[in-house]
Structure formats: structure tokens, C-alpha cells
Amino acid sequence: MTDSVHILGSFENALRGARNTVLRMASIAEQNLEHSIRGLLTRNADLCNEAIAEEDEVNQLERLIDADSFDILMRYNPVAGDLREVIAGMKVANNIERISDEAQSIARRARKVLKHSEIPEAVLIEPVYEKAVSLFRDSMKAYAEGNTELAMSLYGRDRDLDQAHSDVIREFSKRMDRESGQIKQVLHLIFIVRSLERVGDHAVNIGEDAVFLTSAEDIRHLGHKRAAKRLRRESEENSLDAAE
């Protein structure tokens, strides 16, 4: 009995440790994203440099999560919800790493923009950033709390981000038409906005992983309506089973 309790305790500690590493990784990635955008908007190259430097820690944490997850799989042979916990953690970590990659890309482009005179339209990026980082935060909240309703809400908000992205790109294109001497700088801003749009895509992926973790439903590639329909059907079936 003592050995069984010890093994169970070690297994639970391993799962908890892996999840905490994922959450720590997300916190650093969010900070990198904030530093890259704030560095651009406040013309502070030091913040951009911090975002670039911290990318290494995010990469190291992803490798640690992979190693710990494979160790859990080999040592404990988890099943059902525990197995989903391990798989979802690895997938979430991969999307977090890509978000941090986008933060690094933004920071590198921001440093190039800062070498030239200020472009007034750069402030248009801030609302796009706010939408993107909000999606990321809530995707991680959905993962941490098992909140499928919050995870499903990310689809519609990502469409809002896509629209904001398109609107800002349109304004930047107008700037290039007016000021041909600033084409390179404006192109960097366009790529920065595109990076923010990708952050939203990765946040949606994390939300889908949160749904998989909580309900064992793989809703990738279904789209919002079909995914919602599948979750409703599963909820109804579970209610019927409980009633019986």
C-alpha cells in the first residue's frame, strides 16, 4: 500500500510540475510579447532587446516540458484524462513557443523601425495587440481552469482580431502610397501586425487543446459552429448517462 501511495503521489507531482512549467512558459511569452510592442510604441530599444533575450528561456522550457512529458509517459503509462493532460501540455507548450517566436520577430522588426523617424500610424498597432494578448491570456485561462465555454469564445474574438488586422494593414498601405520614402519602415509595421494576427491563431489552438483536455473532444479544423454542435451533443449524452 505504501509503495502504491508513493507512486501515485510521485505521478501527481510530475503532472503538476509539468503543468506549472507550461504556465510559467506562457507568462514569459506574454511578457516577451508585451516588451516587444511596448518597445516599439514607446521607442524603447531596451525592451525589444529583453524580448529577444528571453526567447531562449522559453525554448529551454519547451524542451523541459517535452522531456518531463516523455518521462511521465514512460514511467507511469497514464490513461484517459491523465494521458490527455500530458498530450495537451506538450501541444500547448508548442503554441506558446510559437507565440514567443512572434514576439521575438516583432522585437527585431521594431528595432529596425526605431532607427528611423517616428511613424504616427504606428499607434494603430496597439488595439490589435490588445486583442491578441487578450486572446492569449484567455486561452491559457481556459487551459488552466478547464473552461470550455471560454475556449469556444476565442473563435469569434479571433475573427475580430482578423478584421482589426485587415483594417490596420489597409491604413499602412495608404501610408506607403503617400510616403514612398518610408516603405521599408511601414513594411516592418505590416509584418508586426501579421505577427499579432498569428498570435491569435495560436491562442485558438490552445483553446482547442483546452477543450480536448477537458472533454476528450478533438475540435480542430471543425470551425466554430461544428465544434459547438459536437460539444452540445457530448453534453447531452453525458446528461442522459447521468440520468440513467
pLDDT in tens, 207-217: 999 999 998 88
Read off the pLDDT of each residue in 25-35 and give the average, rounded to a whole number: 97
- Report pTM: 0.87
Read off the pLDDT of each residue in 218-240 and give the average, rounded to a whole number: 59
Q: Percent of the chain beyond pLDDT 90? A: 73
| pLDDT value at 241 more than 60 | no
Which tens digit of pLDDT belongs to each residue from 110-135?
999 999 988 888 999 999 999 999 99
| Cβ count within 10 A of residue 10 | 13
Q: What is the pLDDT of residue 175?
A: 83
CA distance 105 to 48: 10
Q: What is the pLDDT of residue 229?
A: 61
Per the model's pLDDT, the better-predicted residue between 103 and 216 turns out to be 103
Per the model's pLDDT, the better-predicted residue between 190 and 234 turns out to be 190
CA-based angle 19:134:160, to the nearest 5? 130
- Structural domains counted in the chain: 1
Contact between 161 and 133 under an 8 Å Cβ cutoff? The reply is no
Q: What is the pLDDT of residue 217?
A: 83
- Cell numbers representing residue 82 in the block: 491523465
Distances, alpha carbon 206 to alpha carbons 18, 26, 79, 160, 171, in Å: 16, 11, 21, 18, 30
Domain range holding 49?
2-243
Read off the pLDDT of each residue in 131-143 and give the average, rounded to a whole number: 98
The C-alpha cell 480536448 sits at: 212
User: For residue 232, what pLDDT band results from cuts at 50, 70 and 90?
Assistant: low
Contact between 117 and 72 under an 8 Å Cβ cutoff? The reply is no
CATH at residue 112:
1.20.58.220
